[in-house]
Structures are given as structure tokens and as C-alpha cells.
Amino acid sequence: MSAKKIGSLGSIGNSISIAGRESSLALCAEKVSVHKSGIEFCSPTPFNEWSEMTVSLQSPMDGSRISCHGVVVACAGNKHSGYHVSMLFTSLTPTAEKQLGAMARSEFGTGR
């Protein structure tokens, strides 16, 4: 597996930069869903399933940053309509779990 790093996910209304060895993306925050154990986003380019990645999230609530390691578990779509990417976080610290849970329950996440 190759490791990639996804850049900073800004607060609501900001653009989101995602960068890896093989690709770089700029997404709007509306195309990202945060879960307590992972993240989903729409991408114009595909990501290889089972790729290891590092994501840096910035909380829209207090501006704190969370760094999470994970694996792409699904990438479906095509070059015409885009790709829906799902990533599962691994090895979360208790603090990161708590922060992600709060983000998932906020307007930034899916637990609205």
C-alpha cells in the first residue's frame, strides 16, 4: 500500500484541499461528510481502494485540527459524474474520536 496525505479540510463555506502523491484536489466543504469513524467526499479523480492516507481536519466549531490515518474502502463512479470516495479511519486516539464525534453531530457531519 502506498501512503498519501489529504490536506486540510477547512470549516464550512471554505474550499477543501486534498493532496496525495498521485493527485491533488480542491473541493467545497459541501462535498464532504464527516462520520465518527471516517469521511466521505466527492472527487473528480478516483482514489485506489485500500490506499492508506492521512487526513487533517479543521473543526468548524472551534478551529482545532485533527490528524487521522485511514484507508480508502470504496471509490465508485466515473470520470463523467465524478467519484464517491469513502475512507475509514484507523488507530484514532480517544481525543480524536471525541472530536470526530462532535464534528459528525455538527452541520459538518452526517449526524445532523
Is it the case that residue 92 has pLDDT exceeding 50? yes
Instruction: Encode pLDDT of 70-89 as tens digits.
Output: 899 999 999 999 999 999 99
Task: Provide the CATH number for the domain around residue 69.
Answer: 2.40.10
Is position 96 within any domain? yes
Is position 10 within any domain? yes
Is position 111 within any domain? no
Instruction: Encode pLDDT of 18-69 as tens digits.
Output: 545 555 555 566 678 888 888 898 888 888 999 888 777 776 667 777 778 8
Is position 33 within any domain? yes
Q: How many domains does the chain have?
A: 1
Is position 109 within any domain? no
Is position 36 within any domain? yes
Distance CA 99, CA 36 (A): 8
Is position 11 within any domain? yes
How far, in Å, are 9, 40, 61, 71, 102 from residue 107 at the CA level? 14, 15, 9, 24, 10
Q: Which domain covers residue 14, as residue numbers?
A: 3-104
Q: Do strands 3-9 and 52-58 pair parallel, antiparallel, or not at all (unpaired)?
A: parallel
pTM of the predicted structure, to 2 decimals? 0.72
